[in-house]
Structure 1
């Protein structure tokens, strides 16, 4: 590891610029996540206002995303546990 004071001014400036860019991107990400969460909340509220059970809707979406192998295992477990009987 280099000792303090042995970095050229150019390297220090470059490092500071990388740090500024990373901080800016992290801040942008926080804003984007907050906006995404607000949009998701809005859509769920709209579905709920139209009479849909959003908890069940969320589960249905999760199930629709299962790949074939996971779906087969889920069917096997549900059958063994008499989930839908």
Structure 2
């Protein structure tokens, strides 16, 4: 979710999208929280797409994967593989 809070020269559209989803998630949690219902949200920093593959193959790829508690990046085809 770092992209929602940092100004960086690349990917401004992505950052706007992430910031809006973060705000939506924070707003949606208010009513259920009063009933002791938690609404966890997952916001991966990277997804395994051809556009990002160069970063994963670089020496910093392991550090990118290590940012996730799962030790990996999001897989956009996950639903196809598990559904």
Task: Please say whether Structure 1 and Structure 2 have the same fold, judged by a TM-score greater than 0.5.
Answer: no
TM superposition score normalised by structure 1: 0.32
Structure exhibiting the larger radius of gyration computed from Cα positions: 1
TM superposition score normalised by structure 2: 0.33
- If asked which structure has higher relative contact order (CA below 8 Å, sep 6+), I would say 2
